[in-house]
Amino acid sequence: MLNILLVGIGGFIGSIARYLASGYVQQITQSIGFPYGTLAVNLIGCFVIGVLAELADARGVFTTESRAFVFVGILGGFTTFSSFGNETMNLMRDGETLPAFANVSVHIILGLGMVWLGRLVAHAIWG
């Protein structure tokens, strides 16, 4: 029951952070044709989870409870791919095939790259 509460609190925090960060990026790009806000939060989230996963694997710095709070709660609320899927489908529905393909490609390629980079940075810093 404690983990469920921690995930819920973390999800609350992550969801609010996602809303604010995504909205801010979307506003500064002034784009209505591409979901830059979602891209930004997904890339940031991928990098952060890469760093934290490396710390968890190499150093065992997370308890079961803190892992539930941070990984599942905060980061799960922050990097929702449900928005990614919906926005991609909206682009396809609107006949924007190339932006839809670009959205999928960029999220996957750069997201995986950022997880790798986050792990590399964490390993270099905390070995």
Going from N- to C-terminal start, the domains of the chain cover 2-126
Q: Residue 8: its pLDDT value, please?
A: 98
- Cα–Cα distance measured from residue 115 to residue 34, given in angstroms and rounded to the nearest whole number: 23
For 57-115, the pLDDT digits (tens) are 899 999 999 999 999 999 999 987 788 898 999 999 999 999 999 999 999 999 999 99
- Cα–Cα distance measured from residue 84 to residue 27, given in angstroms and rounded to the nearest whole number: 17
The first and second tokens of residue 26, run together, are 């979307």
Q: Which residue has the tokens 């952070």?
A: 17
Q: Residue 120: its pLDDT value, please?
A: 97
Report which of residues 83 and 121 the model is more confident about: 121
Confidence of residue 127 (pLDDT cuts 50, 70, 90): confident
For 10-31, the pLDDT digits (tens) are 999 999 999 999 999 999 999 9
Confidence of residue 44 (pLDDT cuts 50, 70, 90): very high
Report residue 61 CA to chain centroid gap: 21
Report which of residues 119 and 81 the model is more confident about: 119
The 3-class SS string of the chain reads: CHHHHHHHHHHHHHHHHHHHHHHHHHHHHCCCCCCHHHHHHHHHHHHHHHHHHHHHHHHCCCCHHHHHHHHHHHHHHHCCHHHHHHHHHHHHHCCCHHHHHHHHHHHHHHHHHHHHHHHHHHHHHHC
Confidence of residue 7 (pLDDT cuts 50, 70, 90): very high
